Structure 1
Amino acid sequence: MTLDLVPMGPVRTGPRGFVSGPDQHQQMLAVLAGAGVDLGDYDHRIVDWLTRSPGQDWSTVATIASWIQRAAKSTT
């Protein structure tokens, strides 16, 4: 199966593929950092919840990451 990267525009279908929890975690932290989001302890707890066991599927995490990237881009 092909892995769809984090979408840079409106998401019309769920991103495909499998990304492990640890890789999802790193991807989400990178997206948040790239958007200039300063994270507190509770923010990190929510990123952990979202991306680690049991975690969400890649299509959910990639869509949320896409929202963050597009919101940051629209404010610059």
Structure 2
Amino acid sequence: MQTPRDNAPIPSGPVETMPHGCLGTAEQRAALLAELERAGVELGTYDRGIVDWLATFDYSVVATLASLIRRAAHHPH
């Protein structure tokens, strides 16, 4: 599985300003799937379709979503 490149990291803490980076759709999909997998989220067919759709958004949107998933997984309530 591909992971984000060093020049386009997924923020690990609160996002205060728009993240900047550049990843292709496949890399963005991989980043989202990796964070969901680490969080223990089981995905269905429709879920995967939504991840595919979200991966087409700008990097700043995908990076923020991936960051939210990461932070929620590390700080469950």
TM-score, scaled relative to structure 2: 0.87
For residues 50 and 6 of structure 1, what CA distance do their matches in structure 2 show? 15
1:27 counterpart (21, 25, 31)? 31
Once the two structures are TM-superposed, the CA of residue 3 in structure 1 deviates from its matched residue by 2.8
Identity rate, percent: 47
Once the two structures are TM-superposed, the CA of residue 16 in structure 1 deviates from its matched residue by 0.7
Q: Give the AA of the match of 2:61.
A: T
Q: CA RMSD in A?
A: 1.5
On the 8 A contact 1:9/1:70 being kept in 2, the answer is: yes
Paired residues in the alignment total 72
Residues 37 and 28 of structure 1: is their aligned pair in 2 closer, same or farther, counting only changes over 3 Å? same
Q: Which runs of 5+ in 2 are unaligned?
A: 1-5
**Runs of 4 or more consecutive aligned structure 1 residues displaced over 3 Å after TM superposition:** none
Q: Matches of residues 1-76 of structure 1 in structure 2 within 5 Å?
A: 3-51=7-55, 55-75=56-76
- SS across alignment from 1:38: coil
- SS across alignment from 1:8: coil
On the 8 A contact 2:8/2:22 being kept in 1, the answer is: no
TM-score, scaled relative to structure 1: 0.88
On the 8 A contact 2:39/2:69 being kept in 1, the answer is: yes
